[in-house]
Every structure is written in C-alpha cells, then in structure tokens.
Amino acid sequence: FDTGSGHVLLAFRSPEERKMMIAEHLQSTEQLNLTPEFFARLDQVRDRGYEMMASLQTAGVYNLSTPVLGPDGRAIAALTIPYITLVNAPSAPDITLTIRHLQDAAARLSQLAGSDVAQSS
C-alpha cells in the first residue's frame, strides 16, 4: 500500500479483486487509511501504465514500477526498480528514459506470459 509495486498490483486488478487483496492485508496488519485519493492514485497508475513515486523507505530514491500482464490483462507481477539520479554520469538515462526501458522489459515479459494486451510506452 506504500510501494510502487503494491500500487501497480492493485491498479491492474478489478475492484472486486482489490477489495479481496485489501481484506487479506488487513488480516495481517494494523488499520489502513485508504482514502479516496489513494484509489484515485491507483486509477492514475492504471491510466498511465506505471507508478513513479518517491520511496517512502529511502530518501532520494524513486520507485519505478510497471505491470507484467497475463493473458487477461491483469497484473501477474510488478517489475520494479529503484531510481537515483546520478550526478557524475551525464550519459546515464534520465528518469523518463528509464521508465521507457522498464515498460519495454515488462512488455516483453508480458508477451512471454501470454499477454497480447498493449502496454503504454
């Protein structure tokens, strides 16, 4: 609920499946504060095809996460990397190019998993 991969896994599920995933999580943890803004964020993640958020665990790191889709278009996994801007490597990919590379890799994995759903690039 506070990670890029978690957002992707929830975003690429039906509302019913989201409820089930939330209920399962609540059995193993304290109360969650799931606001309307949280669900709006999941819709945004689904619309753009990936999550990009500041890490809530490590300062200066961005979580970049995109779904690996199964044949039904639902996420079967989340491909996630931490992104840190390099100051001493001007030829390193910026965050936008890194997201594109991540989406390309996830699209290839999705195809291997039997998905024919086109992912945003």
Residue range 64-104, pLDDT digits in tens? 999 999 998 899 999 999 999 888 988 999 999 999 999 99
Assess contact for 110 and 117: CB atoms under 8 A: yes
Q: Rounded distance, CA 97 to CA 23, Å?
A: 36
Tell me if the domain spanning 4-112 has CATH number 3.30.450.40.
yes
Domain parsing of the chain, residue ranges:
4-112
Residue range 7-64, pLDDT digits in tens = 999 999 988 998 888 888 777 766 777 889 989 999 999 999 999 999 988 999 999 9
pTM (predicted TM-score): 0.85
